[in-house]
Amino acid sequence: MRIVVTVKYVPDINTERGFEDCRVVRSPAEGTLNELDENALEAALQLVEAAGQGEVVALTVAAPDGDVALRKAFQMGVTRGVRVSDDALAGSDYFGTAAALAAAVRKLEEESPVDLVITGMAALDGLGSVVPVLLAAELGRPALHLAKKLAVSGGTVTVVREADDVTEELSAPLPAVVSVTDTANRPRFPNFKLIMAARTREIEAWTAADLGLDPATVGAAGARTQTVSAAPRPPRPETQLVTDKGDGGVALAEFLLRNDLV
Amino acid sequence: MTNRTILVLLDPATEVRTGVLELLTIARGLGRVEAVSLESPTVEALAQLGAYGVGTVRQAELPPALHGDERHLPAVVAAALAAAVRRADADVVLLPTSFANKEAAALAAHHLGAGLIIDAAAVSEDDDRRVVGSKRVFAGSWDTACAVTTDVAVITVRANAVVPAAAEAAVEPVVEGFAVQVPELPVTLVSRTVKPRTSGRPSLEEAAVVVAGGRGTGGDFGPVEDLADALGAAVGASRDAVFEGWWDAYIGQTGVTIAPRVYIGAGISGAPHHRGGMQAAQVIVAVNSDPEAPIFEICDFAVVGDLADVLPQAAAEIRKHKG
């Protein structure tokens, strides 16, 4: 079982996030592995452990700062990390990102087949939740998106997904692309040995040219959308705080009525 | 006024949901509006579409080999949307945001080489006549605007983006069939079950008012439901409450993302995960016994108190007002 897990370097949701020149500010102090990717890593590690052999490769498209995300993947037990970095990829939209990830998966395939690509359900910065599906489309493989349960048996992957009040069971032949939700598993905590080993593990850096990507089709040059403005919201007016002394409910109702919200 | 053609996904076609009415309202501001359906629209649905200015409903004729629930697969919806765009020579496709529709939108844009915007809160056009989608991001703390640079734009729009408004003059919609080729499906649909909507309550995704309960309910959602019903609101929960098995749908950045006119959180501390799913609400109200609850920092109005006392009293007061 050989599995590629795509991971993303994102600003920590517990910090002040923002934009500069219409691009998300990514700083090493506040950047981290997208938390939802931990579920993807956990799912991949469990499958390889159950198979008794194989490899999990963590793959990211990021500037060199993004190594933070790969180090975290190493800490969980991943043994190989690949970062695709290129100025030509800056400003990629969903399609450019999917194209770069797909090209890297194809390059990994030149070594030996990749049975599964597993992703998180979304990245916590953009929350688009479409790259998994676009990656599958780029690779020409079945997409099983938002898996809450995942099982692989005899060359077939089966998932249960719950979304929008619908529960579905889907199956597809391998190789396939699967995204897992944050309820699919509980990601493991890194142990001391893996944390130490993660520090010195080598990260392979690939460029757009290594992947045969045409610079005109990725990055800002190939993007089909362009962020034209980004502005912080004005701060909310101060909270009106009432301490309940027996009439807190009445105060709440009056607030709603006064503001024409009923 | 422009000569753009805007397609709005109508799925299901047996009723026109509030989210679709909002999209039709937005679409009329951009150009000529058509609807795309995957089944036969009902007479009632057609009348409502006509009132909202829809002159043409394009009904997909799917391959007979496709059975039953397979028509709900995003790959099939995407094939229908792409075919409809080509048939109508359309410029913009609008879909209400949902996980399934995001997937369908992405695949349709992939087929069409179109630009894709997910979760727009408004759609407009800029000075260069490009279609622009505006979004509220980073848990409601930043506003961004994205211009589509390709000929075709595919955009999912979140609920409550606008107040639905009928067209000045109603039209009589014409239903036109169009053939859709669906490539062999790479995924097998083993089973599909739809959770029935709770009768009498709006859906969480679409509701203008939402009352949500968290850990502070201790598992008793009675007061939360009581206030919701007094207000005609939907009921939601925090992820913790759902993990405890107290409620089935959670509000959060990975659960249901809402942007109602009013959000009322009871016994919810306001962890980043939850805030990411509700901070775009226009008015935020919280009830919590902990005066240090982080949710108070983002509230317009808050009561420090026991939700079991405050919520029923508020519900009674509102019922009294409504008579």
Whether chain A has a CB inside 8 Å of the CB on B277: the answer is no
Q: Do B209-322 and B5-179 fall under one CATH topology?
A: yes
Fill in the DSSP letter of residue A217.
G
Check residue B2 and give its pLDDT. Answer: 62
Nearest CA-CA distance, residue B131 and chain A, Å: 10
Window 5-64 of B, Cβ < 8 Å to A: none
Q: pLDDT per residue over A215-243, tens digit each?
A: 999 999 999 999 999 999 888 788 899 99
Whether chain A has a CB inside 8 Å of the CB on B312: the answer is yes
CATH superfamily of B209-322: TPP-binding domain (3.40.50.1220)
Check residue A158 and give its pLDDT. Answer: 98
Of A93, A133, A252, the CB nearest to B303: A252
Domain ranges of chain B: 5-179, 209-322
Mean pLDDT for all residues in chain B: 94
Fill in the DSSP letter of residue B70.
G
Nearest CA-CA distance, residue B171 and chain A, Å: 32
Check residue A2 and give its pLDDT. Answer: 97
Check residue A163 and give its pLDDT. Answer: 86
> Are residues B187 and A171, on separate chains, in Cβ contact within 8 Å?
yes
Domain ranges of chain A: 2-222
Closest CA to B8 of B198, B148, B156, B219: B156
Alpha helices in chain A (DSSP H): 35-51, 67-76, 94-111, 131-139, 192-200, 219-222, 248-258
Has residue A194 got a pLDDT over 70? yes
Please give chain B's pLDDT, 323 residues, in tens.
468 999 999 999 999 999 999 999 999 999 999 999 999 999 999 999 999 999 999 999 999 888 889 999 999 999 999 999 999 999 999 999 999 999 999 999 999 999 999 999 999 999 999 999 999 888 888 999 999 999 999 999 998 889 999 999 999 999 999 999 998 888 999 999 998 876 788 989 889 999 999 999 999 999 999 999 999 999 999 999 999 999 988 999 888 989 899 999 999 999 888 988 998 899 999 999 999 999 998 899 999 999 999 999 999 999 999 88
- Could you tell me how far CA B50 lies from the centroid of its own chain? 21
Other CB atoms within 10 A of residue B154 CB: 30
B268 is in an annotated binding site: yes
Has residue A88 got a pLDDT over 60? yes
B273 is in an annotated binding site: yes
Of A121, A145, A230, the CB nearest to B144: A230
Check residue A45 and give its pLDDT. Answer: 98
Of B205, B262, B299, the CB nearest to A239: B299
Indicate the class that CATH gives domain A2-222: alpha beta
3-state secondary structure of B136: strand
Check residue B195 and give its pLDDT. Answer: 84
The fold for domain B5-179 equals: Rossmann fold (3.40.50)
ipTM score of the complex?
0.93
Nearest CA-CA distance, residue A207 and chain B, Å: 24
Compute the distance between CA of residue B27 and CA of residue B30 in angstroms, rounded to an integer: 5
Contact residues, chain A, for B248 at CB < 8 Å = none
Q: pLDDT per residue over B44-100, tens digit each?
A: 999 999 999 999 999 999 998 888 899 999 999 999 999 999 999 999 999 999 999
Check residue A214 and give its pLDDT. Answer: 93
Instruction: Compute, in degrees rounded to 10, the torsion defined by CA atoms B300, B303, B304, B310.
Output: -150
